[in-house]
Structure 1
Amino acid sequence: MSGAAMGNVNRVDGPAKVTGKAKYASDFRGDGLLYGRIVDAPIARGRILSIETEAALACPGVVYIFTHDDQPSLAWLERNYRDQVGPDGSPFRPLHDDVIRFSGQVVALVLADSLEAARHGAGLVRLRCEQEAHATDLEEQRPESFEEPDSRSGMGKPPEPRGDVGIALVEAPASIQERYSTSPQHHNPMEPFATTAIWERDGSLTVYDKTQAVMNDKKYLTQVFGFGKDELQVLSPFVGGAFGSGLRPHHVAFLAVLAARELKRNVRVVLERKQMFALGFRPPSIHDLQLGATAAGHLTAVAHDALGATSRFENYVEQIVNWSGGTYDCPNVRLGYRIAALDVNTPCDMRAPGAASGVFALESAVDELAWKLGMDPLEFRILNHAAKDPNEEKPYSSKQLLECYRQGAERFEWHRRGHDCGSMRDGSILIGWGVATGVWDAMQVPSSAKAVLGANGKLTVSAATSDIGTGTYTMMAVIAARTLGLSVDDVVPQLGDSRLPMAPLEGGSFTAASVGTAVQKACLKIRKRLIRLAKDLDGSLLAGVDEKEIILENGRIAIKGDASRSHGITEVLQRTGTKEISRKTLAIPSLLKQRKVSIKTHSAVFAEVKVDEDLGTLHVTRVVCAVAAGQILNLKTARSQIMGGVVWGISMALHEESVMDHAHGRFINHDLAGYHIPVNADVGSIEVIFVEEKDSVVNPLGVKGVGEIGIVGTAAAVANAVFHATGKRVRSLPITLDKLL
Structure 2
Amino acid sequence: MSVQSDTSKGMPGSWQPAVTSDPLLRKHGALGRPISRVDGPLKVQGKARFAAEYPYEDICYAALVFSKIARGRITALDTAAAEKAPGVVLVMTYRNAPRMKAPSLMMSSPSAAGASDLPVMQNDEIHWNGQAVAVVLGETQEQADYAASLIAVEYAPLRAVTSFEEAKRKPRQLETLLGEPPILEIGDAEGALKASEVQVDNIYRTPRYNHNAIELHAATAVWKGDELRVHDATQMIDLTAGQLADIFDIDPSKVRVTSPYVGGGFGGKCLWDHQILACAAAKLAQRPVRIMLSREGVFRLVGGRTLTEQRVALGANADGTLNALIHTGIVAMTLHNSCPEQFTFPARHLYAAKTFRLAQEVADMDMLVNTFMRAPGEAIGTFALECALDELADKLGIDPVELRKRIEPENDPTSGKSFSSRHLLDAYEKGAKQFGWHRRNPEQRRQREGEWLIGMGCATATYPYYRFPGTAASIRLTANGRVTVSTAVHDMGMGTATAQVQHIAARLGIPADRINFEYGDSALPRGVIAGGSTQTASIGGAVIAATEVFIEELIKLAGNALPLAGLSLADVEPRDGGIGHRDDADRFETYESILRRSGRNELVCQAEAPPPAEMEAFSMHSYGAQFCELRVSEITGEIRVTRFLGSFDAGRILNAKTATSQFKGGIVMGIGLALTEETNFDERTGRVVNASLAEYHVPVHMDVPQIDILYTDVADPQAPMGARGIGEIGITGVAAAVANAVFNATGRRVRELPITLDKMI
Residues 613-649 of structure 1 show CA distances to partners (whole Å, capped at 9, x for unaligned) of 2232211121211111112222221111111111111
Aligned residue in 2 for 1:7: 33
Letter of the 2:407 counterpart:
N
Letter of the 1:425 counterpart:
R
Maintained 8 Å contact 1:435/1:720: yes
For residue 704 of structure 1, the aligned residue among 719, 724, 741 is 724
Give, in angstroms, the shift of residue 422 of structure 1. 1.7
Give, in angstroms, the shift of residue 449 of structure 1. 0.7
Aligned residue in 2 for 1:293: 316
Maintained 8 Å contact 2:466/2:615: no
Cα distance in structure 2, aligned partners of 1:178 and 1:617: 25
Does residue 756 of structure 2 align to residue 736 of structure 1? yes
Aligned residue in 2 for 1:378: 401
Does residue 360 of structure 2 align to residue 360 of structure 1? no
Give, in angstroms, the shift of residue 372 of structure 1. 1.0
For residue 289 of structure 2, the aligned residue among 246, 267, 273 is 267
Give SS of 2:184's match: coil
Give, in angstroms, the shift of residue 46 of structure 1. 1.6
Maintained 8 Å contact 2:175/2:182: no
Cα distance in structure 2, aligned partners of 1:313 and 1:34: 32
Cα distance in structure 2, aligned partners of 1:90 and 1:667: 18
Q: 1:88 to 1:38 in 2, by over 3 A?
A: closer
Letter of the 1:715 counterpart:
A
Give SS of 1:395's match: coil
Letter of the 1:493 counterpart:
F
Cα distance in structure 2, aligned partners of 1:549 and 1:628: 34
Q: 1:81 to 1:70 in 2, by over 3 A?
A: farther
Aligned residue in 1 for 2:278: 256
Pairing 1:303-314 to 2, within 5 Å after superposition: 303-314=326-337
Cα distance in structure 2, aligned partners of 1:199 and 1:596: 46
Does residue 457 of structure 2 align to residue 434 of structure 1? yes
Maintained 8 Å contact 1:476/1:519: no
Letter of the 1:711 counterpart:
I
Q: 1:721 to 1:590 in 2, by over 3 A?
A: same
Q: 1:166 to 1:307 in 2, by over 3 A?
A: same
Structure 1 residues not aligned, in runs of 5+: none
For residue 282 of structure 1, the aligned residue among 287, 291, 305 is 305
Aligned residue in 2 for 1:59: 85
Give, in angstroms, the shift of residue 550 of structure 1. 4.8
Letter of the 1:109 counterpart:
V
Letter of the 2:133 counterpart:
V
Q: 1:88 to 1:555 in 2, by over 3 A?
A: closer
Give SS of 2:705's match: strand
Give, in angstroms, the shift of residue 105 of structure 1. 0.2
Aligned residue in 2 for 1:227: 250
For residue 189 of structure 1, the aligned residue among 213, 225, 229 is 213
Give, in angstroms, the shift of residue 18 of structure 1. 1.4
Maintained 8 Å contact 2:113/2:239: no
Give, in angstroms, the shift of residue 137 of structure 1. 2.8
Letter of the 2:444 counterpart:
C
Pairing 1:163-242 to 2, within 5 Å after superposition: 163-200=187-224, 202-242=225-265
Identity %: 37
Cα distance in structure 2, aligned partners of 1:216 and 1:430: 50
Cα distance in structure 2, aligned partners of 1:88 and 1:121: 29
Maintained 8 Å contact 1:87/1:316: no
Residues 420-449 of structure 1 show CA distances to partners (whole Å, capped at 9, x for unaligned) of 112222333221111111111101112111
Give SS of 1:502's match: coil
Does residue 544 of structure 2 align to residue 523 of structure 1? no
Cα distance in structure 2, aligned partners of 1:590 and 1:89: 25
Residues 102-122 of structure 1 show CA distances to partners (whole Å, capped at 9, x for unaligned) of 111000101111111101110
Aligned residue in 2 for 1:46: 72
Does residue 615 of structure 2 align to residue 589 of structure 1? no
Give, in angstroms, the shift of residue 47 of structure 1. 1.3
Aligned residue in 1 for 2:418: 395
Pairing 1:589-608 to 2, within 5 Å after superposition: 589-591=611-613, 593-608=614-629
Cα distance in structure 2, aligned partners of 1:12 and 1:553: 22
Aligned residue in 2 for 1:633: 654
Residues 680-702 of structure 1 show CA distances to partners (whole Å, capped at 9, x for unaligned) of 221112111111333222x3322
Give, in angstroms, the shift of residue 549 of structure 1. 6.5
For residue 173 of structure 2, the aligned residue among 126, 139, 147 is 147
Does residue 104 of structure 2 align to residue 104 of structure 1? no
Structure 2 residues not aligned, in runs of 5+: 1-25
Maintained 8 Å contact 1:181/1:733: yes
More off after superposition, 567-576 vs 7-16: 567-576
Does residue 712 of structure 2 align to residue 691 of structure 1? yes
Does residue 372 of structure 2 align to residue 349 of structure 1? yes
Give, in angstroms, the shift of residue 325 of structure 1. 3.5
Pairing 1:60-99 to 2, within 5 Å after superposition: 60-76=86-102, 91-99=117-125
Aligned residue in 1 for 2:19: none
Residues 656-709 of structure 1 show CA distances to partners (whole Å, capped at 9, x for unaligned) of 101112222111111111110111221112111111333222x33222110111
For residue 508 of structure 1, the aligned residue among 529, 532, 542 is 532
Q: 1:351 to 1:77 in 2, by over 3 A?
A: closer
Letter of the 2:284 counterpart:
E
Residues paired across the two proteins, number: 732
Does residue 701 of structure 2 align to residue 680 of structure 1? yes
Give, in angstroms, the shift of residue 495 of structure 1. 1.3
Give SS of 2:442's match: coil
Cα distance in structure 2, aligned partners of 1:569 and 1:315: 48
Cα distance in structure 1, aligned partners of 2:654 and 2:742: 35
Aligned residue in 2 for 1:333: 356
Letter of the 1:700 counterpart:
P
Q: 1:428 to 1:46 in 2, by over 3 A?
A: same
Q: 1:716 to 1:90 in 2, by over 3 A?
A: closer
Give, in angstroms, the shift of residue 89 of structure 1. 11
Give, in angstroms, the shift of residue 206 of structure 1. 1.0
For residue 267 of structure 2, the aligned residue among 244, 252, 257 is 244
Does residue 577 of structure 2 align to residue 555 of structure 1? yes
Residues 43-89 of structure 1 show CA distances to partners (whole Å, capped at 9, x for unaligned) of 11221111100000110111211111222323449999966597999
Letter of the 2:526 counterpart:
M
Q: 1:27 to 1:167 in 2, by over 3 A?
A: same
Cα distance in structure 2, aligned partners of 1:519 and 1:380: 42
RMSD over aligned Cα atoms: 2.4
Give, in angstroms, the shift of residue 231 of structure 1. 1.9
More off after superposition, 169-178 vs 68-77: 68-77
Q: 1:474 to 1:368 in 2, by over 3 A?
A: same
Give, in angstroms, the shift of residue 578 of structure 1. 2.4
Pairing 1:650-665 to 2, within 5 Å after superposition: 650-665=671-686
Does residue 688 of structure 2 align to residue 667 of structure 1? yes
Aligned residue in 2 for 1:491: 515
Q: 1:551 to 1:231 in 2, by over 3 A?
A: closer
Maintained 8 Å contact 1:159/1:391: no
Maintained 8 Å contact 1:457/1:570: yes
Cα distance in structure 2, aligned partners of 1:218 and 1:122: 29
Letter of the 2:49 counterpart:
K
Give, in angstroms, the shift of residue 560 of structure 1. 6.3
Give, in angstroms, the shift of residue 173 of structure 1. 1.4
Cα distance in structure 2, aligned partners of 1:39 and 1:467: 31
Residues 360-380 of structure 1 show CA distances to partners (whole Å, capped at 9, x for unaligned) of 100001101110111111111
Report the TM-score when normalising by structure 1.
0.94
Aligned residue in 1 for 2:742: 722
Give, in angstroms, the shift of residue 32 of structure 1. 0.7
Give SS of 1:280's match: coil
Give, in angstroms, the shift of residue 557 of structure 1. 4.2
Give, in angstroms, the shift of residue 319 of structure 1. 2.0
Does residue 500 of structure 2 align to residue 476 of structure 1? yes
Cα distance in structure 2, aligned partners of 1:267 and 1:255: 10
Q: 1:542 to 1:155 in 2, by over 3 A?
A: closer
Residues 337-386 of structure 1 show CA distances to partners (whole Å, capped at 9, x for unaligned) of 11111111110010111111111100001101110111111111111111
Give, in angstroms, the shift of residue 293 of structure 1. 0.8
More off after superposition, 401-410 vs 136-145: 136-145
Report the TM-score when normalising by structure 2.
0.92
